[in-house]
Each structure stands twice: as structure tokens, then as C-alpha cells.
């Protein structure tokens, strides 16, 4: 018998951000956390494999948005992003979607980097299930802006970010 899910619809939902993650990027201007219940099979996968699967199932509209973003940010000399994953399926990835892997364990992958306009971190955490609760996957994004360009960039991308992350989590479990 499988564990009971924390959310009956198995849809990604916004949850409170772990205060310890906020401290990892002191002075953050933005943070959000989305969580989804995993299937029993997914609950046995590592955080690295779940991260790989989440980014490899990106919908086409997200790829189109990313291509548009890259054309616009090139005008300002900002880093390009893409959806490739460095490292083969049998190894730990060194970067995901152009975001370097900062740390990785069986239960958590931390992505991110510091740039001239903003610093950001993304934590992908697998939380084990219990007899009452399915395993969960939590994605936390924390951003600290460094100048006006970072604040402007954050204001523009946040509405998209808040659609993209839950969409990617929902596609992971379908």
C-alpha cells in the first residue's frame, strides 16, 4: 500500500521557506518554495536524479521564454541560461540549466551563482516519505539583488518564475 499524499491532487503548492535557506543568502530580496508529493518510485530517487528529470521535462513554452530572455539580457551583458544538464546520466551533474551545482547530497542539490546584478540559489530537496505521508520534492529559490539592474530583472522575471517552477514540478509527477 502506498503512502498517503500530503496533497490529494499531487499538484505543486507554495509553502513556507525554510529560514535556514534564507540565512544562506543573507539580505535576500526574494524567496519562494514550492512542494509536490512524489510517487513511491520517485521517492526512492536521489535529489540529483529528480533535479535532472525536472529540468529534462521542461515544456516548450518555457524554452521559448528562456530564448527570449537570453536575447534581451545579452543587451545588458548578463549571463545566458539554457536547459542542458552537464554530466551524463550515471554521474552527478556539474550544472543544470546553466546553473552550477554548488553542493549535492543524496537528499539535496543546491544550484546558483553570484553575478554583478544578483546572487541566487536554488535548492532541490527530496524529503523522505513515511507511512502517513508520501515523499516530497521541495524547490526553494532565494535571490539577493546587487544593483538597480538586478531589482529590475527580478521584477520582470518573477511572474514567469512563479508559473515555471510549479509547472516543472507538476510535469515531473505526470
Position 158 scores a pLDDT of 92
CA gap 17, 7 in Å, rounded: 18
- For 82-117, write each residue's pLDDT tens digit: 655 555 555 566 767 677 889 999 999 999 988 888
- For 61-79, write each residue's pLDDT tens digit: 877 887 787 788 777 776 7
- For 131-170, write each residue's pLDDT tens digit: 888 999 999 999 999 999 899 989 998 999 899 899 999 9
- For 35-59, write each residue's pLDDT tens digit: 999 999 999 999 999 988 888 877 8
Position 87 scores a pLDDT of 57
Q: Which domains does the chain have, with CATH numbers?
A: 13-172 (3.30.530)
- Global confidence as pTM: 0.83
Q: DSSP of 29-90, one letter per residue?
A: SEEEEEEEEPPHHHHTS-HHHHHHHHHHT--HHHHHHHHHHHHHHHTTTPPP----EES-TT
Amino acid at each position: 500500500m502506498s503512502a498517503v499524499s500530503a496533497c490529494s491532487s499531487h499538484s505543486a503548492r507554495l509553502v513556507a521557506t525554510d529560514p535556514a535557506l534564507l540565512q544562506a543568502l543573507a539580505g535576500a530580496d526574494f524567496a519562494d518554495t514550492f512542494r509536490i508529493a512524489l510517487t513511491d518510485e520517485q521517492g526512492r530517487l536521489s535529489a540529483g536524479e529528480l533535479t535532472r528529470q525536472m529540468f529534462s521535462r521542461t515544456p516548450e513554452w518555457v524554452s521559448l521564454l528562456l530564448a527570449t530572455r537570453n536575447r534581451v539580457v545579452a543587451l545588458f551583458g548578463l549571463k545566458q541560461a539554457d536547459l542542458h544538464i552537464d554530466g551524463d546520466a550515471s554521474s552527478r551533474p556539474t550544472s543544470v540549466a546553466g546553473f552550477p551545482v554548488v553542493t549535492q547530497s543524496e537528499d539535496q542539490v543546491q544550484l546558483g551563482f553570484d553575478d554583478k546584478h544578483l546572487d541566487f540559489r536554488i535548492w532541490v530537496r527530496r524529503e523522505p516519505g513515511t507511512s502517513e505521508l508520501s515523499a516530497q520534492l521541495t524547490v526553494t529559490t532565494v535571490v539577493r539583488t546587487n544593483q538597480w539592474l538586478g531589482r529590475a530583472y527580478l521584477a520582470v522575471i518573477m511572474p514567469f518564475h512563479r508559473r515555471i517552477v510549479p509547472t516543472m514540478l507538476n510535469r515531473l509527477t505526470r
